[in-house]
Structures are given as C-alpha cells and as structure tokens.
Amino acid sequence: MAPSTVPLGYYIWKRLASLVTLLDQIYDVPELTWIGTCNELNGAYAADGYARIKGNPAALLTTYGVGELSAMNGVAGAMAEHAGMIHLVGMTSRPIQKAKALIHHTMYPEMDHAIYIGMSEPVRKTTMAEEIDRVLIEGVKSRLPVFIYIPLDIVSVQLDATRLETPLDTTIKNESTDVEDEIVKSTLELIKSAAKPAVLADVLTIRHKGRDLMRELVDLTHFQSFSTPLSKGVIDETLPTYGGVYNGIASFPGVADAVHASDLVLNIGPLLSDSNTGGFTRFIKDEHLVYLGHEYCQVQGKKYDGVHLLPVLKKLVEELKKDTGKYNIPRSPKSTKIEVPILSNLKSGKIEQSYTWQRLGKFLKPNDIILAESGTAQFGMPDATFPPNSQFITQIFWSSIGYTVGACLGALVAAKELKHPGRVVLIVGEGSLQMTVQEIGSYIRYGFKPIIFVINNNGYSIERAINGPKQKYNDVSMLWDHQKMLEFFGARQETGIASKSYRCETVEELEKVLTDEDFNSTNSIQ
C-alpha cells in the first residue's frame, strides 16, 4: 500500500515525471534524467533547447543567488521566445532565512535570502513554493518560465500522496467555445470568398504544439504558405505552394509582394519582434488578416481578447477536413512556388558568406534539427531551403550569443528521448562559441554525436556590419585551435570516443567534407 503522504521533494519530481509521461505518452519513461551542465547559463539554454524540440518545458534546477542569477539571461530568453521552463531553486531553510544570516550567496544590506525572487520577477510568469500543480500546469500551458523556490527544510515536508493519482490537466482551453466557433465561422467564410488566400505560420504555433495542425491546414488548403525567420521549417519547403520566409522588406524578391497582395492572410502564432518582421516592415492590412495569437485572435479587425490560437486552429482544421470543396478548395489559379534566388555560384576558392548558407542548406536531410547561432548564421540560414520535417532553432528575438551551444545539448537530449530520426546540426560563429564552449564537453560526456560547424570569420562579424568594422571591441581571440577542441573535451583515443574534425578554407575543401559519406552519417561527433 502506498503511504498517504510523500515528501515534498519527491512530490515535485514525481509531478515532473508525470508531465513527461502525460504529455508525450511516453509511458515507458519511469524517471526523469539528470543532465549536469558546466554552468547555470548553459543549463538554462539547454532546458530551452530541450523544450523547443520536445514540446514540453524541461526543469532547470539551480541553487539560489549565484545559480539563479547566472541562469537569469537564459530564463529571460525562454520568456521572450515562449520556450517555457520550470526553474526549481534550492534555497536556505526558512528559519535561516528569517534570521537573515550572512550565509554564503547572500548580500548586504538586508541579508534577504529571497531578494533574488524579486529580481527574477520580470522574467517569469508566476512563482509559488507550495502550489506545485498550479505552477506546473501554468508553465506547460503558457510556454513561459515558472519558478518554484524550495527552502532546504521543506524538501521533506509531507504532502498528500493521493493528489499524484490525478494527472495534471494541461490542455489549453478557451473560456468560451462559442467565441471559438464564431472565429472559425467567420474565417471559413473569408476562406470561401478569398481570391488569393495565404497562410503565414509563425513561431508561437510551434511553441504551442500547433505544428502538426499547421501542416494539415496547408495540406488541406493548398494555399500559398509562408514562414518567418523564427518559424522557418514549420512549412514543408519542398511543397509546390511554399512561398518562402516572410520577413518584411528583408524578404527575398517576390515574397513580401505575394503576402501583401493576398486578400486573406491566415497568420497563426505571430511573434512580431524586430528581426522577425524585417525590422517592423510587415504590412498586412487588417481587412485581409485573420490573426490567431496566444493572447488574442482577430478577424478583419474584430478582436477577441483572451482567446488562444490552439483550440481555434484545431476547430478550423476539423471543419475544413469535413468538406474542403464547401470552402472552394482547391481553387484556381493554383498558388505557385516562389523560387529562391541563388546567391552564389562559387565553385572554388575562399569560402564566402553568400555561398555558405545556401550550401549548408543543401547539406541538410529530412528530419534534421538545425541550430543557427545569433549573428551571421541566424541571418544567413533563412536564405537556405530546408528539406521536409526540418526543425530550426534560433533565438532571433532574445539574441543572446552563445545560446545555441547550450540549446544544442537540450535538443540532443530531446531528440534521443523522442527517438528522432534526424541529425542535430549546430552552426555557430567562433565568437559565440567562446561564450559557452564548455558544453561541447557535455555532448561528448553524454555520448551525443552532433555535427558542429564553427564559422570562423575573425570576430563578431554581425557587429562589425552594424558598427565598428575594424574596432578592437569586435575582435575575439583568433588563437583557438578548433581542430583540437573535441580532443580537449574528451574525444580521444584513450577515452575510446571517436570524433572527426576538418578545417576548410576553400570551397573545394568544404565540398569534400560535405559530400563525404562518413561525415554525413554522424558515426561520431564531428
């Protein structure tokens, strides 16, 4: 017989385990896995990357003060980009806190051990030491970071064990299904009469687990469909109806024109930040817009506050499935593919920016998970065409450099748990790599075999492009020997961990590697 109470620490871990189980139907995962990272910021990045691939928030466990402050930038990124995260903070016991003791990790003048709780307030959705269930559900549903502070002396406090028998309900529901029906109905009417309808699928669709629904929508309607820099990969880019990456005036020729010429844009899950809208040059008239967001929906200027996109999208797809013909689908003329211009025909000599990104795109295979670091990789990779079922991780809104090196660890863990068939490909500049490089050691430690492209362009190139092309503050050390990196971090003969490493300065050298069968197979970390 189960005891009627369980310790609080056990309760939290059990609830977290149940979340994994519950949400992914991975009933055969009996326990959570502890993944230690080299530092807290990298840990937060890893938790963020995990969530983006797994679809559920990961739990990040740190100590108070030093740990939670170091992680804070990573948590803030998860907040800004809706990646979700459950941040557990181990604290001093309550009597010690009350006594305001000068314990390590605390500060003058007030010696308030909980001072950091206030500091992180803007980067979290809520905080709660006891209402564990409520906080966990909120964290999963909102895709925003939640915090649980756990004083040392409460870990063994006994909680009601019978609660664990009731699974957490993390389904996203709107208050009124009538409002959902109204939005769906007017949208269907607009679909029926539109001459040139389009789908613009943005990143919050992915975050709120609408990826599959989005693909169904595109497959059912055959509308010309667009992604954004942050959502790239959400639409199958090999589809004949794929329109490209819509990024305002920074889009490829014809893309923005096509979006702006549409008399109906179904815009799902938007995140309207500067780098995701071509620097705020997105121009879609309200009369042509159906906006399904995480905070509100809007149809032709009529706003429905507090209505979440997911149930609406689900109903919309269900209605369309019943009878596409009823909604004038497919219609003629058929929407056409917008061809991506070829930016470079370089066949030999020194590698150039214009050649790099589309070439790396060709290297990708279906199901690959691609991480593009802030900077040139992030701005360059949207120029590439992705194969079907690509998943793209980039932090173009929060833009914390070094992010992908940590996030890649989380993506690797998630891909392993999901038995994901694709490769994990990390593309990172040498300057960003220096921020968080130690986590490469964690890939090796945990036996992962990603392909890592280190784009060594002698400093912070994106910053040089913005300001100070020759200023020393945009320099980073050019002394690192990346060919020795995997060896240093653990892939060596004596450890029995295989690795391969190549240095390519010319197109010929890079072509040789990219077309190498062994390199493509990811038999080892490379």
**Residues in the annotated binding site for Mg(2+):** 457, 459
Of the two residues 5 and 438, which places its CB atom closer to its own copies in the complex?
Answer: 438
Of the two residues 362 and 484, which places its CB atom closer to its own copies in the complex?
Answer: 484
Q: How far is the CB of 215 from its own copies (least distance, A)?
A: 26
Q: How far is the CB of 501 from its own copies (least distance, A)?
A: 12
Of the two residues 38 and 504, which places its CB atom closer to its own copies in the complex?
Answer: 38
Of the two residues 41 and 234, which places its CB atom closer to its own copies in the complex?
Answer: 41
Q: How far is the CB of 85 from its own copies (least distance, A)?
A: 14
Q: Which of 71, 369, 374, 481 is nearest to 489 (CA)?
A: 481
Of the two residues 64 and 386, which places its CB atom closer to its own copies in the complex?
Answer: 64
Q: How far is the CB of 31 from its own copies (least distance, A)?
A: 12
Query: Tokens 């400093």, residue?
Result: 459
Q: In this structure, what DSSP letter does residue 56 have?
A: S
Q: In this structure, what DSSP letter does residue 419 have?
A: T
Q: How far is the CB of 197 from its own copies (least distance, A)?
A: 27
Q: How far is the CB of 165 from its own copies (least distance, A)?
A: 29
Q: How far is the CB of 157 from its own copies (least distance, A)?
A: 18
Cβ atoms of 489 and 501 within 8 Å: the answer is: no
Distance of alpha carbon 161 from its chain centroid, rounded?
34
Looking at the DSSP assignment, which residues form a beta bridge with residue 159? 6
For residue 64, report the phi and psi dihedrals to the nearest 5 degrees. -80, 170
Of the two residues 184 and 444, which places its CB atom closer to its own copies in the complex?
Answer: 444
- 389's CB contacts (< 8 A; 6+ apart) are 236, 366, 367, 422
Q: How far is the CB of 84 from its own copies (least distance, A)?
A: 13
Cβ atoms of 92 and 152 within 8 Å: the answer is: yes
| Termini Cα distance of the chain | 51
Q: How far is the CB of 274 from its own copies (least distance, A)?
A: 5
- 477's CB contacts (< 8 A; 6+ apart) are 434
CA distance 105 to 67: 9
Q: How far is CA 248 from CA 233, 281, 285, 398, 465, in A?
A: 18, 5, 13, 19, 20
- 357's CB contacts (< 8 A; 6+ apart) are 343, 377, 380, 381, 383, 384
CA distance 245 to 223: 15
Q: How far is CA 308 from CA 154, 270, 348, 359, in A?
A: 36, 12, 51, 38
Task: Give kind and range of the element (H or E) at residue 88.
Answer: strand 85-91
Of the two residues 283 and 488, which places its CB atom closer to its own copies in the complex?
Answer: 488
Q: Which of 103, 19, 112, 118 is nearest to 68 (CA)?
A: 118
Cβ atoms of 125 and 139 within 8 Å: the answer is: yes
Of the two residues 202 and 236, which places its CB atom closer to its own copies in the complex?
Answer: 202
Of the two residues 169 and 295, which places its CB atom closer to its own copies in the complex?
Answer: 295
